[in-house]
Amino acid sequence: MGKTFLKPEALSNAYTHYCPGCTHGIIHRLVAEAIDELEIRGRTVGIAPVGCAVLSYNYFTFDFQEAAHGRAPAMATGIKRVRPDLIAFTYQGDGDLASIGMGEIIHAANRGEKFTTIFVNNAIYGMTGGQMAPTTMPGQKATTAPFGRDVKETGMPIKMCELLSSLETKAYITRQTVLKPKYINKAKKAIKKAFEYQIEKKCYTFVEVVSTCPTNWGMTPQKALKWAEDTLLPYYPLGEFKTPE
Amino acid sequence: MAKVLMKGNEAIGEAAIRAGCLNYFAYPITPQSEVAEYLAKRMPEVNGVFLQGESEVAVGYMIFGAAACGERVMTTSSSPGISLMSEAISYISGARCPAVFVNIMRGGPGLGGILPSQGDYLQATKGGGHGDYKMLVMAPDGVQEAVEMTMLAFPLAEKYRNPVMILGDGLIGQMMEPVEFPNNLNKEPTNKDHWATNGMDTRKSKEKNIVKSLFLDPKVLNDHNLTLKSQYEKMKKQEIRFEAYNTDSDYQILIVSYGTMSRVCKTVIDNLKIQGIEVGMIRPKTLFPFPEKAVYDAACKKSCKKVVSIEMNMGQMLEDIERCVKGKKEVSWYGKCGGDVPTPEEIINHIKLLLK
């Protein structure tokens, strides 16, 4: 019997710098599988954010650009406007996308730019060391919210899918997670669908992936998965928020 | 080709198209919005890209994304907008992408005013954004030169894989002058397959390209900066452009002035000549690289008593002139920065004062 589970061609052989138990690796793989299956590797440009995934260009085997903090959607706009034949995706965390890059993401979505965003939401700043993010849960501890997020001072966590879905422009907007195998299979389908819509030049496509950060949450990977399922999923419900049909 | 009467801002837009730049992103700001208005109509006629971004910050990165694909791309803005784009200019410089930025300067600091100024000299030539980078900066003195410099900016940006800035004041953008578009030379961008993210399929090598400015290893970052520096040194050797005016005479005063201001100074020099007073001028056309030797040599001429920098700001180029003259002659500044351009009479009076 031959091998049935191979490393996608779109993933490199590099060891990642991600922490043990981090779900970035799974999400990278899902993106790579979708790109392989759609045979678009040779015309894909990824845009790395500022955040944990800043070095993601080392883990994929196709063209990449590295954005400034929050600006990936503007760069993807530049790419798709001048080279509509290329496939572009931004891979952004919650600090990058929902805080400093809020302006860029809303306007890119509202213009209906034909690129894909993979939005990895783990409710905290990872790379800078566990500061509060716009998606940090009420009461959740962070290095800049040592007593837990006080929503009286900082407002409620921002739900990006719901926010972007309120725009009138046609889009594909979905929230997925990779906390369990059953979720991973669904997330894969959603990511592939997003790229398919992009290939068809149908609409802007946005896949949020609820993720974990065991290191900055101060939890074991196992506990982080459970905490995410118990705490994040009720507030960030999974599903398709908007489809172009 | 026959001359046409055009407003500076519109001529800059047309020049970009003639230079083979079919990609333009911008955000409205006075006094340069006519570039965007012109290209909003004109780009569709040539199957080009026109996009009004949501902010100058975003536009800076639209330029970056497009430039990183190896496509010719331009934006235009004015002083406060260039401040917002300065972050992107730093990233684009760090990532070594060619792009053209036009700054039609207005008064500052802050919102300042909407009238002409040369208040962004230091921002354009010394940084603006963070890190050790330089732009190649050209300063036109009228609509014709704005066209020629815009068309030249693209091949230069590609030659050095570096942003190029056209630094004009509000007058250059707003005034109408007869202009002739040169037949363009360099429409084909240079080979970019070794660095651009234009899709692996299109390249022979089939190797991935990464456009980035992050180099975590200190040695690698130092080497990267040395590479950038070598490009700037090459610009200093190959790209210095200036005009010498009335420097064959035994001038007593040497003016250094650029842009609109230098045209007023030419009137001053012509008028003083009739009165028997000789004044010479060095007009830098490139502000970086700066015509260091030309200024030094002109200042060292025996007849020359004093050097004066005449600028529509509070004396920004003055610092470069002092650096170049190396104390050989007294260097001073004259100018205004509220939006009124100093008149020939005012400058003549000042020069007579210098000669007392």
Q: What is the mean pLDDT of chain B?
A: 96
Residue with tokens 């040369």: B118
| CA distances from residue B136 to A141, B54, B155, B199 in whole angstroms, order as listed | 48, 27, 12, 28
Q: Nearest chain A Cα to B65, which residue?
A: A75
Residues of B in contact with A100 (CB under 8 A): none
Q: What pLDDT score does A4 carry?
A: 85
Token couple for B304 = 């020359």
Q: CA–CA separation, B336 vs B282, rounded Å? A: 20
Q: What count of other Cβ atoms lies within 10 Å of the Cβ of residue B118?
A: 28
Instruction: Quote the Cα angle for A61-A65-A70, to 5°.
Output: 130
Q: What is the mean pLDDT of chain A?
A: 97
CB A22 within 8 A of CB B168: no
Chain-chain contact of B65 with A48 (C-beta, under 8 angstroms): no
Q: What pLDDT score does B191 carry?
A: 85
Amino acid type, A236: Y
- Inter-axis angle of helices B143-160 and B218-238, nearest 10: 140
Query: Across the strands, what pairs with B284?
Result: B242
Q: What pLDDT score does B184 carry?
A: 64
Complex ipTM tops 0.95: yes
Q: Nearest chain B Cα to A101, which residue?
A: B58
Q: What pLDDT score does B186 carry?
A: 60
Q: Nearest chain A Cα to B75, which residue?
A: A78
Q: How many residues does chain A have?
A: 245
CB B281 within 8 A of CB B295: no
The residues near A168 (Cβ < 8 Å, ≥ 6 apart) are: none
Residues of A in contact with B60 (CB under 8 A): 71, 74
Q: What is the mean pLDDT of residues A139-161?
A: 98
Q: What is the mean pLDDT of residues B5-18?
A: 97
CB B313 within 8 A of CB B115: no
Residues of B in contact with A82 (CB under 8 A): 23, 49, 66, 69, 71, 73
Chain-chain contact of A63 with B25 (C-beta, under 8 angstroms): no
For B274-306, write each residue's pLDDT tens digit.
999 999 999 999 999 999 999 999 999 999 999
Looking at CA atoms only, how far is residue A210 from chain B in angstroms? 27
Chain-chain contact of A71 with B88 (C-beta, under 8 angstroms): yes
Q: Which of A82, A117, A167 to mutate to test the interface with B (most CBs of B within 10 A)?
A: A82
Q: Which of A65, A86, A169 to mutate to test the interface with B (most CBs of B within 10 A)?
A: A65
Q: Nearest chain B Cα to A70, which residue?
A: B58
Q: What is the mean pLDDT of residues B146-161?
A: 96
> What's the distance, CA B279 to chain centroid?
26
Chain-chain contact of B214 with A66 (C-beta, under 8 angstroms): yes
Q: What are the DSSP E strand ranges found in A13-166?
A: 44-48, 63-66, 87-93, 116-121
For B311-334, write each residue's pLDDT tens digit.
999 999 999 999 999 999 999 999
Looking at CA atoms only, how far is residue A202 from chain B in angstroms? 19
| Architecture, CATH, for domain A24-242 | 3-Layer(aba) Sandwich (3.40)
Chain-chain contact of A42 with B69 (C-beta, under 8 angstroms): no
Q: Nearest chain B Cα to A87, which residue?
A: B199
The residues near B339 (Cβ < 8 Å, ≥ 6 apart) are: B106, B107, B113, B114, B115, B116, B117, B170
**SS3 sequence, chain B?**
CCCEEEEHHHHHHHHHHHCCCCEEEECCCCCCHHHHHHHHHHHHHCCCEEEECCCHHHHHHHHHHHHHCCCCCEEEECHHHHHHHHHHHHHHHHCCCCEEEEEEEECCCCCCCCCECCCCHHHHHHCCCCCCCCCEEECCCCHHHHHHHHHHHHHHHHHHCCEEEEEEEHHHHHCEEEECCCCCCCCCCCCCCCCCCCCHHHCCCCCCCEECCCCCCHHHHHHHHHHHHHHHHHHHHHCCCEEEECCCCCCCEEEECCHHHHHHHHHHHHHHHHCCCCEEEEEECEEECCCHHHHHHHHHCCCCCEEEEEECCCCCCHHHHHHHHCCCCEEEEEECCCCCCCCHHHHHHHHHHHHC
pLDDT over 80 (residue A126): yes
Q: What pLDDT score does A2 carry?
A: 83
CB nearest A103 (choices: B51, B54, B202): B54
Amino acid type, A14: A
Query: Regarding beta strands B4-7 and B176-179, do their DSSP bridges make them parallel or antiparallel, or are they unpaired?
Result: antiparallel
For B53-84, write each residue's pLDDT tens digit.
999 999 999 999 999 999 999 999 999 999 99
User: Phi, psi at residue B297, to the nearest 5°?
Assistant: -60, -45
- Inter-axis angle of helices A102-111 and B56-68, nearest 10: 70
For B196-238, write each residue's pLDDT tens digit.
999 999 998 889 999 999 999 999 999 999 999 999 999 999 9
The residues near B31 (Cβ < 8 Å, ≥ 6 apart) are: B9, B78, B104, B106, B114, B115, B116, B170, B173, B174
Q: CA–CA separation, B93 vs B150, rounded Å? A: 19
**A17 close contact with B: CB closer than 8 A:** no
Q: CA–CA separation, A176 vs B313, rounded Å? A: 56
For A187-206, write each residue's pLDDT tens digit.
999 999 999 999 999 999 99
Amino acid type, B129: G
pLDDT over 90 (residue B127): no
Chain-chain contact of B66 with A79 (C-beta, under 8 angstroms): yes
Token couple for B92 = 């684009």
**SS3 sequence, A6-58?**
CCCCCECCCCCCCCCCCCHHHHHHHHHHHHHHHCCHHHEEEEECCCHHHHHHH
Token couple for A22 = 């981090």
Residues of B in contact with A81 (CB under 8 A): 23, 25, 49, 51, 62, 66
Q: What pLDDT score does B352 carry?
A: 98
Q: What is the mean pLDDT of residues B265-272?
A: 98
Q: CA–CA separation, A149 vs A155, rounded Å? A: 9
Q: CA–CA separation, A198 vs A114, rounded Å? A: 6
Chain-chain contact of A76 with B65 (C-beta, under 8 angstroms): yes
* pLDDT interval class at B1 (50, 70, 90): low
**A9 close contact with B: CB closer than 8 A:** no
Domains B4-238 and B242-355 alike in fold: yes
**A47 close contact with B: CB closer than 8 A:** yes
Helices (H), A200-243: 214-217, 221-227, 233-235
Q: CA–CA separation, A48 vs A55, rounded Å? A: 7
pLDDT over 80 (residue A62): yes
Q: Nearest chain B Cα to A82, which residue?
A: B66
pLDDT over 70 (residue B188): no
A:B CB pairs within 8 Å: 129
CATH number for the segment(s) B4-238: 3.40.50.970
Q: From chain B, which residues contact A within 8 Å (Cβ)? A: 23, 25, 49, 51, 53-55, 57-69, 71, 73, 87-88, 91, 95, 197-202, 206, 208-214
Q: Which CATH class is domain B242-355?
A: alpha beta
Q: What pLDDT score does B185 carry?
A: 62
| H or E stretch at A161 | helix A160-165
Chain-chain contact of B61 with A78 (C-beta, under 8 angstroms): yes
Q: What pLDDT score does B171 carry?
A: 95
* pLDDT interval class at A3 (50, 70, 90): confident
Q: Where are the domains of chain B?
A: 4-238, 242-355
CB nearest A68 (choices: B49, B55, B61): B61
**A115 close contact with B: CB closer than 8 A:** no
Give per-residue burial for A119-132: e unless 16+ CB within 10 Å, then b: bbbbbbbbbeebbb
Choose among A163, A183, A182, A181: nearest CA to A173. A163
| CA distances from residue B338 to B112, B311, B342 in whole angstroms, order as listed | 8, 12, 10
Q: What is the mean pLDDT of residues B79-102?
A: 98
Query: Regarding beta strands B286-288 and B136-138, do their DSSP bridges make them parallel or antiparallel, or are they unpaired?
Result: antiparallel
- Inter-axis angle of helices B79-94 and B56-68, nearest 10: 30
**A53 close contact with B: CB closer than 8 A:** no
pLDDT over 70 (residue A229): yes
CB B316 within 8 A of CB B124: no
Choose among A158, A150, A140: nearest CA to A217. A140
Choose among B45, B82, B69, B191: nearest CA to A77. B69
